[in-house]
Structure 1
């Protein structure tokens, strides 16, 4: 009896691992600026004080990211199609916001990736040249390999990122940076800390719109292989829980190596990442410079390629629905990829100095709209006729309601802090 059960169990494990895809790809998209920069800065500035809050944020957003899997597996359609069913204005708003966010986010991530790529190139190249190298690499992978290549690359990126980050954490625990004798930790629960907390929590682990990416990736995966509700939810949970734990790991790195050292933190993401690499080299040893550079580069490169693919897919789908076409061609998606990429390069080439204000604008816009898209996702999965294993149960419904209160509450705090303080 045992001999027949063991191969069956091995087969189930093998099938579950083979089904990993959209959830891991979504994780690669999320683990970028929000983890490398925001989580590490949270640890550097406030030590361990925001650990519980980061975990709660990931918990409260869980139902709205999960909605992408539930809706797509239950209806065999994407979240974007769901927005269209709710009404053309909803789809139009989503499309407009996605166009803005796609170009600005891609430009920022390209510059970020290009700056980190310098660590691995022995000769000097301009920022625009490095950005083109990163962009051509991304587009070549996406054009030639399509979803399968993105899926495999995301698995490799997350594997390298996780292993390298855990090694770095183990080293940091064994050799933390010395704290100044008279140091008193700053409290995050003050008016001065509201701005940092609100923006960080709003983008942890990612804006809700990433759920539409995972929905499109899942729909694509279902065309290539057999996907069950159980395997899709397993894939999502692995990716989502993994991003939450990595957020705590990056916070720990900031707390162990930067908190209480008296170091003035760089404000820009690019400057902070270079500062982080230099700090590791000076604290742990020069040999660790490339370990941290690899972590930082894979964080941002993974976000870059998944963001280009994700936005191109949802915008292509939105175009199809707005123009009442039956199918979306691969050519249309590639045109969107190329268009987003060219516009992003244009910003780097001509408006590099304006990139930070544009990125702040895009982040603020995404933060403001996040509660509304979370509500839309909740409405979609609540109204749709879903199988029992995908339906919103009492516990998930309660968590969704608490999550909506959290998101709209944080939005109210942000509006008060931003415009009425």
Structure 2
């Protein structure tokens, strides 16, 4: 009798491999987000206010969720990016997006290069200036992006996020075991004081990331669909893992700040370089002095991951906006590469001549991100409503209700900020 080949069950290893391969834009979104909002903002939130801001971090992640999720829904449902959607709604929206994105791109690249350079100097055997280290990092980022483009970035993002999650969760578990370092009589400043609004606004502006990161997710997903098969289910699963994981990681960073830095008597540095070194010391104090340089490498990889994903994603979105404005064919690699080169060069000029003003510019970018968040959130919501999506991509009653709650929350907090900043 002849042996008849039959299709047996898919091996578990194959299923796991397919699952890992399906990860992409969601993980890259997480990698782009953790640099400024998590390592800096979340940790400082815990270091200054203890656990008081945990609820606000979870709320802002919850209320922004529908508007970040719109990137997956719109791109999978229409085959277009969110930026194309803005263009379809009116060229005015596209111009506003392009202007805001240009500011955010240049300032974010400069700030992340500075953070990366400061951490590289922590363990590098060569004594180089910050700008020299930043230049080396920039050359490496551009070489990877010009050579490998999406696939290289996808792989790097997955590795960096895995290392970061393991190191941070381990440090948090040890910190919980050791208990808080603050003396029993210590009382952190209250978040109900008006002076706290400025910090909360900056934190919320980039939590889990600026709203324009949704357009990056949309562009990465559009590019991923050109190179592999992506289903509605796999795209949504990838996004949820990245987004929910990022939100939980923000709370873990807050916990580290609350347990290790809050009330320990050390003055927090206002500079990005100084705080990045305090961050490494925080891990070393928690896990053990033996881990200091290992953690410096992990923190560097985290910021490096944010740097390379921001250079790729922000410039990918900017080049698409430019092509739509001048009405040329989309997806031209030379425009993306040119945008990366020009924006990176301007960022290096800022590092060379305006380093002292960089933190001021970064705070401005964070506040700008907060102010524009409600408007872009509403645009993303309108795009989903107008797209008339069906099936798993459709906007159900619960998600529609969450969207309206999110809009009320974001516009309400914006009104409070305007009142605090300019009316009192």
Instruction: Give the alignment's Cα RMSD to 1 decimal.
Output: 1.7
Partners of 2:171 and 2:283 within 8 A in 1: no
Deviation (angstroms), 1:350: 1.1
Deviation (angstroms), 1:228: 0.4
- Indicate whether 1:287 and 2:282 are aligned: no
Deviation (angstroms), 1:13: 4.4
- Indicate whether 1:143 and 2:109 are aligned: no
Structure 1 Cα separation of the partners of residues 217 and 284 of structure 2: 36
Q: Normalised by the size of structure 1, how large is the TM-score? A: 0.96
1:94 equivalent in structure 2: 97
1:257 equivalent in structure 2: 260
Instruction: Report which stretch shifted further, 218-227 or 349-358.
Output: 349-358
- Indicate whether 1:343 and 2:368 are aligned: no
Q: Normalised by the size of structure 2, how large is the TM-score? A: 0.95
Deviation (angstroms), 1:4: 7.8
Where do 1:179-194 residues align within 5 Å? 179-194=182-197
1:418 equivalent in structure 2: 421
- Indicate whether 1:332 and 2:331 are aligned: no
2:3 equivalent in structure 1: none
Aligned mate of 2:249, from 232, 246, 250? 246
Instruction: Report which stretch shifted further, 7-16 or 120-129.
Output: 7-16
Aligned mate of 2:21, from 14, 18, 23? 18
1:214 equivalent in structure 2: 217
Deviation (angstroms), 1:260: 1.8
Partners of 1:180 and 1:260 within 8 A in 2: yes
Structure 1 Cα separation of the partners of residues 283 and 388 of structure 2: 52
- Indicate whether 1:31 and 2:34 are aligned: yes
Where do 1:164-179 residues align within 5 Å? 164-176=167-179, 178-179=181-182
Deviation (angstroms), 1:306: 0.7
Structure 2 Cα separation of the partners of residues 378 and 343 of structure 1: 33
Instruction: Report which stretch shifted further, 214-223 or 41-50.
Output: 41-50
2:107 equivalent in structure 1: 104
Structure 2 Cα separation of the partners of residues 328 and 302 of structure 1: 24
- Unpaired segments of 5 or more residues in structure 2? 1-5
Deviation (angstroms), 1:297: 1.3
Deviation (angstroms), 1:107: 0.4
1:296 equivalent in structure 2: 299
- Indicate whether 1:66 and 2:69 are aligned: yes
Query: Which secondary structure state, in structure 1, belongs to the residue aligned with residue 210 of structure 2?
Result: coil
Instruction: Report which stretch shifted further, 198-207 or 11-20.
Output: 11-20
- Indicate whether 1:41 and 2:44 are aligned: yes
Partners of 1:165 and 1:295 within 8 A in 2: no
Aligned mate of 1:389, from 385, 392, 398? 392
- Indicate whether 1:83 and 2:86 are aligned: yes
- Indicate whether 1:155 and 2:158 are aligned: yes
